[in-house]
Amino acid sequence: MGSTGVRIAIDAMGGDHAPAEIVAGAVRAGEELGVTVLLVGDPQQIEAALPPKTNLAQVEIVPAEEAIAMDEEPLNAVRRKRKASINVAMDLVKQQQADAVFSAGHSGAAMASALLRLGRLPGIDRPAIGTVFPTIKAGKPVLILDVGANVDCRPKFLEQFAVMGSAYSQYVLGTPEPKVGLLNIGEEDTKGNEVALRAHQLLKENTQISFIGNAEGRDVLSGDFDVIVCDGFVGNVLLKFAEAVGGVILQILREELPQGLHGQIGTALLKPNLKRIKQRMDHAEHGGALLLGVDGVCLIGHGSSQAPSVFNAIRMAKEAVDNQVLQRLRTQYQALERESG
Amino acid sequence: MGSTGVRIAIDAMGGDHAPAEIVAGAVRAGEELGVTVLLVGDPQQIEAALPPKTNLAQVEIVPAEEAIAMDEEPLNAVRRKRKASINVAMDLVKQQQADAVFSAGHSGAAMASALLRLGRLPGIDRPAIGTVFPTIKAGKPVLILDVGANVDCRPKFLEQFAVMGSAYSQYVLGTPEPKVGLLNIGEEDTKGNEVALRAHQLLKENTQISFIGNAEGRDVLSGDFDVIVCDGFVGNVLLKFAEAVGGVILQILREELPQGLHGQIGTALLKPNLKRIKQRMDHAEHGGALLLGVDGVCLIGHGSSQAPSVFNAIRMAKEAVDNQVLQRLRTQYQALERESG
């Protein structure tokens, strides 16, 4: 499929800055990436949010009557509000009118909607949320999953996460042979809690991935791993800690750098460099989280997503579609099912 | 007990830089804190490591024939090498010839030795390792436990960690009424894995602590919590990630700050301020980890400990002794046992 044909359904009503920032990021993606964006939500609000000179050839508006608020219980809300923007967007994928979906709204609702409307890929017990962290090696991110969908995991779930993560790393992030690690508390095979010990064994025996062993907390940002699997409890704690720590360090820099006269002059001279550092540590630059294991390409943005994050997430969605990640995963899972009999 | 009477047993042979850095830090503590340090290990090596003008009034050397190496299986080594420096140091506490013990050697061996020689405090199922993190609020650290001793925890272990952590925060770190949090993936009571859900309930009902609710990954460094409890798996991942992230940020600063002519001049001007930032993020400034739940005051140093870390750990040990943490914990546990009994 040529890239001009890629169509991405956007939940225009989801997120703290919806619809303005969502529409702005999506329109830019339409213009710069050559995708068609299907903006799902209240047509009046969406039209009001369109930038003045929007090229309408790349934009379609799909009406949806309702939206799901951040404080609603996800499964109930998704079931009750059948015409909510997230449901309508998922239906577009289900009906093959779109190739992928993006939402910065209630992530639990996006997950519930994807499960109910698209279903799981064959061979997958539980979908996982994967997120991309920058590492110490520039241009060499690491995909961590699960970061919150499954707080209690069985070892075989972690194995499935590894297979899915490996495919995404290869076909979306462009890693030739992704090195997979298991998040654990030591390097040795014998380290870890009960789930990690059994998962280690399964990963070692799996021939579809390049499992290189346990990854400790200190290895997450080393760039030595391309994919790191963990349960959604530890993954979520790690993600939120990592997101916050950037802000903590920036605050320490802001407090300490301008101390004294030399400090003030030095800080003024370094302004452009400090801005670049902020960008390099900024999570938003690295796009949305991937919902892996459902039968469709789904990207989930942070609730606080602004236009640049939306743009990056749509770029990731396009990569996934262009590189036929879903089709490849289906094939791999079929092989996995044959293997396990 | 007056502070002049505090005696600390030091495993002089444990750690990457033993005995030189261990002895240097201990001797400084003897001089500046008025404690007596009992240096346990090979007398010849220890004497050779004593700084030239050491005040020998504050230093005793206690011979030990062996030492436990970093790669030995801890429980076996502790049992087999009965006269290893860590065992001799623990025995000094057991025989009330010392009030506390410090080791930067094999932490698993220190834990095994403490369990075998000192035993557990009444009412405690599992000892935990607690470590102090700096937070965004200067001078307001947070004690995290467990960071590695127990990879699979039952809810009541987490409750015991909270009681012990609270006592240490109050009587060692000087927090008037420590705010306790449960590391979890959301603020709401209904969030978390099975263990966290049940632990939340126990913590809420415990009247001996000030439990203020769940702490997410983003809250760890916020300064809003004084004590955060978690199982040793997630705690260890978090600790190692946090230790590494400081280095990652410093490397990014080193790469990006001196870019361009303005960058080079600015960086030169900022040299003293950057050094202060490095110190503020440095884990070593905050001393050793606490081994909580054994019947003795035990401080565990990082294998890479140098003299300043050793000094800080000894200061923490002295605080714990001066403030009778163990005696207070015994009383609290007795109350806890009466309550649950």
Each residue's pLDDT tens digit, B39-54 = 999 999 999 999 988 8
Average pLDDT, integer, range B171-184? 94
Q: How far apart are the first and last CA of chain A?
A: 33
Nearest CB among A148, A217, A270 relative to B244 is that of: A217
Pairing of strands B289-292, B297-300: antiparallel
Q: Give the closest residue to B111 by CA, choosing from B91, B129, B92, B96.
A: B129
Q: B183, A216: Cβ pair inside 8 Å?
A: no
User: What are the residue ranges spanned by the domains of chain B?
Assistant: 1-124+293-320, 125-260
**B126-149 per-position pLDDT tens digit:** 999 999 988 888 788 999 999 988
**Window 103-122 of B, Cβ < 8 Å to A:** none
**Window 240-269 of B, Cβ < 8 Å to A:** 240-245, 248-249, 251-253, 256-257, 259-260, 262-263, 265-269
In this structure, the dihedral spanned by the alpha carbons of residues B24, B27, B33 and B37, taken in order and rounded to 10 degrees, is 120
Closest residue in A to B241 (Cα) is A217
Q: A269, B269: Cβ pair inside 8 Å?
A: yes
Neighbours of A246 (CB within 10 A): 18
Of A133 and A12, the structure prediction assigns the larger pLDDT to A12
**A298-335 per-position pLDDT tens digit:** 999 988 889 999 999 999 999 999 999 999 888 877 76
B125-260 folds as Isopropylmalate Dehydrogenase (3.40.718)
pLDDT of residue A282: 64
Q: Are A137 and A223 in contact (CB under 8 A)?
A: yes
**A207-220 per-position pLDDT tens digit:** 999 999 999 999 99
**A126-155 per-position pLDDT tens digit:** 999 999 988 888 788 999 999 988 989 999
pLDDT of residue B304: 86
Q: Which residues of B61-90 are buried (b: 16+ CB within 10 A; e: fewer)?
A: bbebebbbeeebebeebbeebeebbbbbbb
Q: Give the separation between CA A114 and CA A294, rounded to whole angstroms.
A: 7
Pairing of strands B142-145, B128-133: antiparallel
**Alpha-carbon gap: B35 to the closest alpha carbon of chain A (Å):** 35
Q: In what order do the strands lie in the sheet with A297-300?
A: A59-63, A36-41, A7-11, A100-103, A297-300, A289-292, A128-133, A142-145, A227-229, A179-183, A210-215
Q: B273, A260: Cβ pair inside 8 Å?
A: yes
Is the pLDDT reported for residue A2 higher than 50? no
**A89-102 per-position pLDDT tens digit:** 999 999 999 999 99
Average pLDDT, integer, range A187-201? 90
**B213-246 per-position pLDDT tens digit:** 999 999 999 999 999 999 999 999 999 999 888 7
Element holding B236 (H helix, E strand): helix B232-256
Is the pLDDT reported for residue B262 higher than 70? yes
Pairing of strands B289-292, B128-133: antiparallel
pLDDT of residue A340: 60
Average pLDDT, integer, range A231-259? 86
Is the pLDDT reported for residue B4 higher than 60? no
Is the pLDDT reported for residue A4 higher than 80? no
The SS3 assignment for B197 reads: helix
CATH class of A1-124+293-324+334-341: alpha beta
Q: Give the separation between CA B18 and CA B103, rounded to whole angstroms.
A: 10
B1-124+293-320 folds as Isopropylmalate Dehydrogenase (3.40.718)
Q: Are B199 and B155 in contact (CB under 8 A)?
A: yes
Nearest CB among A185, A257, A280 relative to B236 is that of: A185
Of B326 and A280, the structure prediction assigns the larger pLDDT to B326
pLDDT of residue A3: 40
pLDDT of residue B159: 96
**Which superfamily is assigned to A125-288 in CATH?**
Isopropylmalate Dehydrogenase (3.40.718.10)
Phi, psi of B239 (to 5 degrees): -60, -50
B308 to chain A, any CB pair closer than 8 A? The answer is: no
The CA angle A139-A143-A144, to the nearest 5 degrees, is: 140
- Whether the ω angle into residue B146 lies within 30 degrees of 0, i.e. cis, is yes
Residue in the structure block whose two tokens are 């809250």: B219
pLDDT of residue B257: 83
Give the percent of chain B with pLDDT over 70. 94
Total count of residues recorded for chain B: 341
Q: Give the closest residue to A22 by CA, choosing from A8, A12, A30, A32.
A: A12
Q: A266, B269: Cβ pair inside 8 Å?
A: yes
Q: Give the separation between CA B12 and CA B84, rounded to whole angstroms.
A: 11
- The confidence band for A56, taking pLDDT boundaries of 50, 70 and 90, is confident
**A57-90 per-position pLDDT tens digit:** 899 999 999 999 888 888 999 999 999 999 999 9
pLDDT of residue B317: 94
Task: Enter the tokens of residue B307.
Answer: 């003299």
Of A318 and A281, the structure prediction assigns the larger pLDDT to A318
For A5-65, where are the alpha helices, taking DSSP H only? 20-33, 43-49
Neighbours of A133 (CB within 10 A): 18
B125-260 matches B1-124+293-320 in CATH topology: yes
